[in-house]
A and B are shown apart, each in its own frame.
Chain A
Amino acid sequence: MIHLLEAVADGLGRGSVYALIGLGFVIIFKASGVISFAQPGFMIAGVVLVSYLVDVPWLGFWGALVVGTVLIGLFALGVERAVIRPMIGRPVFTIAIITIGLDIAIRTVAHAWLGFNPRQVDDPWGLRTFELGPVTVQQRHAAAVVTAAIAVAVLFAFFRFTRMGLAMRAVAEDQEAALAQGASVGTVFALSWALAGALAAVAGVFAAAGLNVDNTFWPIALYALPVIILGGLDSLEGAVGAGLVIGVLQSLAANYPDALSWLGRNPSIIVPWLVMVLVLILRPYGMFGTREVERV
Chain B
Amino acid sequence: MLTRNPVASRPLLHTSYRSDMALFNTRAKLVAVLVILLAGVALPLLPPSMLPDAVLTELTRGSVYAIGAIGLMLLTGFAGQVSLGHAFFAAVGFYTAAVIAGDPDGRTLGFGITELVVWLPAAGLAAAVVGVVVAPLATRLRGLYLAIVTLGLVVVGEHLFEQWQSVTGGPSNGRRPPPVTVLGYRLDVDGPFFNRQQQLYWLMLALLVVFALAARNLARSDVGRAFTAVRDRDIAAGVIGVNLARQKTVAFAISSFYAGCFGALFYTTFLNVRPDQFNLFLSVLFIVMVLIGGVGTISGAIAGAFLIALLPRLARWLAELLPLVSTRPTDIPNDSHLQQVLYGLLIIGFLIFEPRGLFGIWHRIRSWWKTYPFSY
Interface residues of A (CB under 8 A from B): 34-35, 83, 86-87, 90, 92-94, 96-98, 100-106, 108-109, 111-112, 115-116, 219, 222, 225-226, 229, 263-266, 269-270, 273-274, 276-277, 280-281, 284, 292, 294, 296
Contact = CB atoms under 8 A, between A and B. Distances in A.
Instruction: Report, nearest first, the 5 A-B pairs whose CB atoms are least far apart.
Output: A101-B347, A105-B344, A264-B163, A104-B344, A108-B340
Interface residues of B, number: 40
Contact of B347 (A97, A112, A225, A265): A97
Classify the interface of chain A: helix, strand, loop or mixed.
helix
13 contacts: A83-B352, A92-B143, A93-B147, A101-B347, A104-B343, A105-B341, A222-B155, A229-B148, A266-B159, A269-B155, A277-B152, A284-B141, A284-B145
Contact of B82 (A93, A106, A229, A276): A93
Q: Of residues B155, B235, B355, which shows the largest number of chain A Cβ atoms within 10 Å of its Cβ?
A: B155
Contacts of A115: 332
Nearest to A281: B137
Given A100-B284, A277-B152, A108 B337 contact: yes
Given A273-B152, A281-B137, A100 B340 contact: no
B208 to A, nearest CB: 25
Max chain B C-beta neighbours (<10 A), residue from A90, A97, A281: A97
Contacts of B288: 101
Interface in B285-318: 287-288, 291
Nearest to A35: B144
B11 interface: no
Contacts of A229: 145, 148
A227 to B, nearest CB: 11
Contact of B352 (A35, A87, A219, A266): A87
Contacts of A264: 159-160, 162-163
Contacts of B142: 292
Nearest to B332: A112
Contact of A276 (B152, B236, B239, B346): B152
B352 A86 contact: yes
A273 B155 contact: yes
